[in-house]
Amino acid sequence: MPEEVWDSSVPLAIALAAERKKGDQSEFWPHLRLLPAEPQALWLKTPAEQSAIYDDLGDLIRALPSILLYFLTALATFPCMLDVLYI
């Protein structure tokens, strides 16, 4: 592990874990409770969870053409929406 990563990330991760372990007794709890309870990194997921994520992404990718068509149709029908998009 590069030294600059160790110098910044590891102490922060240790402090975060220690505060999170305190739960609502931590002075930082109002902020810590907003963090996800489960790891968000794909490589920390089980193979089944990874497969489900890939399936969901595939569904989204297959739906994109119809979503884009719907959006373009709405813009053609209501050109004033462009004003809202550029705010």
Q: Rounded to whole angstroms, how far apart are CA atoms 82 and 70? A: 15
Q: What sign results for the dihedral spanned by CA atoms 13, 18, 24, 27?
A: negative
Which residues fall within 8 angstroms of residue 1, CB to CB, at 6 or more apart?
10
Mean pLDDT of the chain: 81
| pLDDT tens sequence across 39-53 | 677 778 888 988 888
Residue 54 — very low, low, confident or very high, per pLDDT cuts 50/70/90?
confident
Q: With pLDDT > 70 as the criterion, what percentage of the chain qualifies?
A: 83
- Exposed, middle or buried, 27 (CB in 10 Å: 0-12/13-18/19+)? exposed
pLDDT at 81 over 80: no
Mean pLDDT of the 34-38 span = 82
The pTM (predicted TM-score) of the whole model is 0.42
